[in-house]
Amino acid sequence: MTTTTPRPSRKREPDRNLAVELIRATEAAAMASARYLGRGDKNQVDAAAVDAMRPVLGTVAMRGVVVIGEGEKDEAPMLFNGEQVGDGTGPEVDIAVDPVDGTTLVAKALPDGLSVVALAERGKMFDPGPCFYMRKTVVPGSAAHVVDPEAPVGETIAAVAKALGRKPDDLTVAVLDRPRHSGLVESIRAVGARIKFLGDGDVAGAIMAASEDTIDTGVDLLFGTGGTPEGVIAAAALRCLGGSIFARLAPRNEQERKAAIDLGYDLDRILTTTDLCGGEDIFFAATGVTDGALLKGVRFGTNRISTTSLSMRARSGTIRFIQTFHDPVRSTLVPALD
């Protein structure tokens, strides 16, 4: 009688098909939110995107938990932090979603509005806790080794320029256009670098800064204080691109600071790309809602709706640009008109 030794059970790893499935989710959110482009209501933009993304994510073969979502359960009806998504089969994963990164941009028909989703192995995404903001520095991968996160901005720009074989006044720095960045802007201009102001949502800005020769965006670095959830999503994208982010939590007030310390957060720690999104099985998907340096926005034609998306996978380093033409009648991703 022959006996066989059973193979040890292995954790199911994310399949490469997830890349396509995540794109379907961002396409649905982008098309739904683009219906409200320029109408001035950012809440309407966000609600449409969430309503469209949620059911698509529910069909994906994964057992996902939303780590970065639309807020706590009592404040968001869908895609809230801690919500379980997927069809209940497949790998256990963390999910970070921003149905529209830049709701104000879409509401005002301004550039660089995106719909984004990132996925990583369970337990590998950083939980921001009570900290809504973080200070960020994003650089191309080829310059990461010269960055001292504690150095003044001017020194960092000079070091990155040297690593890239360029001069400081050849570089363009992305910065969120906020009053809090007035001193930062002066420091950047003092070394001769140019500035690309971002109106809202800095995930696109981080990708632009890290894209190097992959995507010609004309941006070389990103500095400034922005959303911590966006920082985690950006880190997932950078793990695929090869870029680097250096961040530090920035509590808005003493109450938030105390809450973070009580929960064990080290507010002096420099968080790196892998701290924010670890593991190797990382997927990132984005679809343009409005035109931008990274992606074209949604186009509503007579017989087709076109979308342009970015799909990336960390394990293989694969980066794909996908243009899709949707039939407004037959496609299940196209939202019904009101």
**DSSP labels for 101-166?**
ETHHHHHTT-S--EEEEEEEETT-B---TT--EEEEEEE-GGGGGG--TTS-HHHHHHHHHHHTTS
Element (H, E) at 299: strand 299-300
Strand partners, 175: 197
Query: How far apart are alpha carbons 110 and 190 in whole angstroms?
Result: 28
Confirm whether residue 155 is marked as ligand binding: no
* Residue 102 within a domain: yes
For position 170, which CATH number holds? Answer: 3.40.190.90
Is there a binding annotation on residue 122? no
- We report the CATH number of the domain holding residue 43 as 3.30.540.10
Give the whole-angstrom CA distance, residue 168 versus residue 145.
Answer: 17
Distance, in Å, from the CA atom of 223 to the CA atom of 201, rounded to the nearest integer, reads 13
- Residue 137 resides in a domain: yes
Question: What is the rounded distance in angstroms from the CA atom of residue 136 to the CA atom of residue 207?
Answer: 13
Annotated binding-site residue? 178: yes
Let me know if residue 13 belongs to a domain.
no
127 is in an annotated binding site: no
Look at residues 261, 257, 316 and name the one whose alpha carbon lies nearest to residue 18: 316
Domain count, the chain: 2
Shared-domain flag, residues 137 and 272:
yes
Rounded distance between C-alpha atoms, residue 23 and residue 318, angstroms = 14
230 is in an annotated binding site: yes
The residue written with tokens 């337990």 in the block is 123
Q: Let me know whether 214 and 313 are in one domain.
A: no
Same domain, 232 and 294: no
Angle, alpha carbons 22-24-30 (nearest 5°): 105
CA distance linking residue 160 with residue 44, whole number of Å: 41
Q: Is 148 annotated in some ligand binding site? A: no
Q: Token pair for residue 315? A: 């394990």
Answer yes or no: do 154 and 217 share one domain.
Answer: yes
338 domain-assigned? no
Q: Say whether 27 counts as a known binding-site residue.
A: no
Residue 46 annotated as binding site: yes
In a domain, 5, yes or no: no
- Residue 212: domain span: 133-276
Residue 165: inside a domain: yes
pLDDT tens string, the chain, 338 residues long: the values are 444 444 444 455 666 678 889 999 999 999 999 999 999 999 999 999 999 999 999 999 999 999 998 766 555 567 888 899 999 999 999 999 999 999 999 999 999 999 999 999 999 999 999 999 999 999 999 999 999 999 999 999 999 999 999 999 999 999 999 999 999 999 999 999 999 999 987 899 999 999 887 777 889 999 999 999 999 999 999 999 999 999 999 999 999 999 999 999 999 999 999 999 999 999 999 999 999 989 999 999 989 999 999 999 999 999 999 999 999 999 988 876 65
- My answer on whether 263 and 169 are in the same domain is yes
Do 27 and 74 fall within a single domain? Answer: yes
Residue 133 annotated as binding? Answer: yes
Q: Residue 252 has which token pair?
A: 């808005």
With respect to residue 293, please indicate whether it lies within any of the assigned structural domains: yes
For residue 337, report the phi and psi dihedrals to the nearest 5 degrees: -75, 145
The answer to whether residue 59 is domain-embedded is yes
Q: Indicate if 272 and 288 belong to the same structural domain.
A: no
- Domain's final residue, options 254, 276, 298: 276
Spatial distance between the Cα atoms of 115 and 332, rounded to a whole number of angstroms: 18
Residues 176 and 225 grouped into a single domain: yes
- Clarify whether residues 199 and 235 are in a common domain: yes
Query: Rounded to whole angstroms, how far apart are CA atoms 69 and 78?
Result: 9
Q: Are 33 and 77 part of one and the same domain? A: yes
Q: Is 70 annotated as a binding residue?
A: yes
User: Do both 182 and 243 map to the same domain?
Assistant: yes
Is 200 annotated to bind a ligand? Reply is yes
What are the structure tokens assigned to 25, written together? 């989710």
Are 258 and 306 in the same domain?
A: no
- 225 annotated ligand-binding residue: no
